[in-house]
Amino acid sequence: MYKVFEVSPVDESTLEEALNRGLGEGFKLARVDYVMQAGVRRPTLAYVIMFRASSAVEGVEEEAEEGGAAAEGGAAAEGVEVSDPGAPRWP
Q: Indicate the length of the chain as a whole number.
A: 91
Q: From its phi and psi, is residue 2 left (phi > 0), alpha (psi between -120 and 50) or beta?
A: beta
The answer, as to whether pTM is greater than 0.85, is: no
Q: What is the largest CA-CA distance in the chain?
A: 58
Domains (range + CATH), the chain: 2-65 (3.30.70)
> Residues 10-52: pLDDT tens digits?
999 999 999 999 999 999 999 999 999 999 999 999 999 999 9
8 vs 53, higher pLDDT: 8
Q: Check whether 85 has a pLDDT greater than 60.
A: no
pLDDT classification of 77: cutoffs 50, 70, 90: very low
Instruction: Determine the pLDDT at residue 53.
Output: 82
Extract the runs of DSSP E, i.e. beta strands, from 1-67. 2-7, 28-35, 45-51
The one-character DSSP state at 41 is S
